[in-house]
Structures are given as C-alpha cells and as structure tokens.
Amino acid sequence: MFLKQLDYLIAVIEEDHFGRAASRCNVKQPSLSNGIKQLELELGVTLFKRGRGQRLYGVTEEGKKVAEWARIILANCTSMRDTIAEMRDNLSGTIRLGAITTMSPVLPIILQRIRKAYPLVSVDVRFVGNEELRTGLDNFSIDCGITYMDQSSDMPWCESLPIFEESWSLLVPDSFEFENMEEISWNQAGDLPLALLRPSMYERSIAEETFLATGKKVTPKIESESILHLMFQTQFTELCTIIPTHYTRMPGLHSGTKALLLKDPIIKKGIGLFWLKTDTVIPVTKIAEEVGRSLAENNELQKFLYLNASNDRK
C-alpha cells in the first residue's frame, strides 16, 4: 500500500469522477485507476460501485470506511512532515481553513499575520456553512475553522478560541428618511422592505428569531447567499439588509448607503477559531492557534473592527 493510492481514493470520492481525480492528482487516468485497483486487491474489498464501462456510481460501505482511515493516515503523515520541517526551522505546507462567509472581510488580517510569522506556509481558504465546517474538521479535510462560538457544543471533538464578538447593523439607503438616525430597533426594521440571506443560512435564522421575538414576521423581497450582493441591493434600490457591524469597517460601506446599529435587542455573537483535539501538536493548527491568540490578546481584533467601525459611522 502506498500513500499515493490513499490520495487517489480521497480524490475520486471528493471529485466523484475518475478523470477529474486524475487531473487533481497530476497523473493520467489509467495510472489512477490502476492504483485504486491495486488498493482494492491488497485490501480484498471493492471500494467503488462501477457500472458498464467502469462508470462510477458511488462508494461502497467498505470504501467509506477505508476513506475514513485514509484521511487519518494522510493527515498524520502531513503532520509528521510539518513537525520535522518545524524542527529544521523551515516549516512549510498548507493550512486548510474553513470559514463562514461573514468572515470574508476579516480574513485578510488573520492571513497577513500567518504570512508574516510563517512566510513558507500557504493558506487554502474555503467558505462553508456550519454543517460542512463540522464535517470537514471531523474527517480531516479542514485543519481549522472560524465560526460562531455557540457551535462548540456541536463539536466536542474540537478545541476553540474566541477571537472577537460580532454585532449587527441594518444597512439602509443614505436618504432623507434615515438622515438623522444612527440606530434602529428590530421592530422598526421589520416594517422596512428587506433583502436577507437565504433561510438555510445560520445568520438568517438568528435574524428571524430576533424579529419574531419583537413581534415581527418578515418576508424579504430578495434572498441570497451573498451579503455583498445584498449590500448592492441596498446601494442601488430601496431595499435594506442586515450586515455584521464590522462590514462598515471592512470592507467599508458603498456610496449611497448608511449603517444603523440594530438594537432592542443588541445581538452579540462570539466568533472563534476551532481545531481538532489531538494528543500530538499539529504544526499547521498550532500556527492558526498562535495567530488567533495574538489577535484575541487585549481584544486587538475586536478594537480594530468595532471601535473603528463606530468611529467611521460618526
């Protein structure tokens, strides 16, 4: 059994196609197929369901179990190499970072710290939902994740570190209607024409629960998975949308828009860094933890995002 055969296995499962998996592994398809066949012969099981012409129809139960072990073996092998590289003071490799979409403006700060401290390390950023992030951490396809701290109860196999606290604002057109306003209640916001995230997204569920608690059931005019798109809706139409308050600082407001702090209640949600609990220190997660702690120290990230955001609104 060779490590490359395990790489082939994971690639085929994730790409759901032998050709794409071969391209991802930088080998010709016959080489990848032969590697999979040799792995099946050695283990004495069939890993994939195949039809006429060897067309792929899914993964067998045995294949799923072998894939679980393959991910563990490959992750440990990568950690071993990283540990040796760290001992030689030339740590390199890739951190696979999963993050919820609202973190897009914040990540440049975090990734810049990583680049400065470890110039040979690269970061593969994946924007995912909470369920996909949990799965990725559990099956070793993500090294660390950034999401809401209240998700920690669903990930008892992970360590977590709070890095800042998010609050929300209502983005409105910069028109005479809102000229003398700096804040607005959820109840008032519920009477305005809204563009909101899709119902499947965690942030949408928080917003709906808060509206209901203040006596409002809202029906948005526009739904999207992109906060940036919703911000454009406010910029160019009459619609209002809900944004994390740090968006007023990073990336900053578009011309023709204005942010009002949502109150009664003011919603605050802790954002944290998550990584797997392990008996041995994994260098790439150690890097993320170090950077996370440096940003959490003295509330540095909180002050940068929210004190400046508050000043920018004035």
Q: Do domains 75-164+269-313 and 167-267 have the same CATH topology?
A: yes
In whole numbers, what is the pLDDT of the chain averaged over residues? 88
- Binned at pLDDT 50, 70 and 90, residue 282 comes out as confident
N-to-C CA span, the chain:
64
pLDDT digits (tens, 9 = 90+) for 238-253: 999 999 999 999 989 9
Q: What is the mean pLDDT of residues 12-17?
A: 88
CB 259 within 8 A of CB 243: yes
Q: What is the pLDDT of residue 160?
A: 93
- The model carries a pTM of 0.73
CA-atom Rg of the chain in angstroms: 23
CA distances from 200 to 98, 130, 180, 204 (A): 18, 11, 35, 7
Domain 167-267 CATH assignment equals 3.50.30.30: no
Which residues, including other chains, have CB under 8 Å from residue 30's CB and lie 6 or more apart?
A: none
Instruction: Kindly list the domain boundaries of the chain, sorted by start residue.
Output: 3-70, 75-164+269-313, 167-267
CATH number of the 75-164+269-313 domain: 3.40.190.10
- What count of residues does the chain have? 314
3-70 CATH choice from 3.30.430.20, 1.10.10.10, 3.40.50.720, 3.40.50.300 = 1.10.10.10
Helix (H) or strand (E) holding 270: strand 268-276
CB 213 within 8 A of CB 298: no
DSSP-assigned states of every residue in 274-303:
EEE--SS--HHHHHHHHHHHHHHGGGHHHI
- Binned at pLDDT 50, 70 and 90, residue 77 comes out as confident
- 98: tokens are 């999963």
- Binned at pLDDT 50, 70 and 90, residue 105 comes out as very high
DSSP-assigned states of every residue in 149-181:
GGGGGG-TTEEEEEEEEEEEEEEEESSGGGTT-
Which residues, including other chains, have CB under 8 Å from residue 4's CB and lie 6 or more apart?
A: 25, 35
Residue 237: what residue type? T
d(CA 65, CA 209): 39
Tell me the backbone φ, ψ of residue 59, rounded to 5 degrees: -110, 135
* 75 or 141: which leads in pLDDT: 141
225-230 LR contacts (CB < 8 Å, sep 24+): 225/101, 225/197, 225/198, 225/201, 226/101, 227/101, 227/102, 227/197, 228/104, 230/171, 230/195, 230/196, 230/197
Tell me the backbone φ, ψ of residue 48, rounded to 5 degrees: -130, 150
Q: What is the pLDDT of residue 87?
A: 46
d(CA 195, CA 197): 7
pLDDT digits (tens, 9 = 90+) for 154-188: 999 899 999 999 999 999 999 999 999 999 999 99
d(CA 192, CA 220): 9
Which residues, including other chains, have CB under 8 Å from residue 257's CB and lie 6 or more apart?
A: 171, 172, 173, 174, 231, 234, 235
Q: What is the pLDDT of residue 166?
A: 95
CB 274 within 8 A of CB 155: yes
Q: What is the pLDDT of residue 308?
A: 60
Which residues, including other chains, have CB under 8 Å from residue 213's CB and lie 6 or more apart?
A: 186, 265
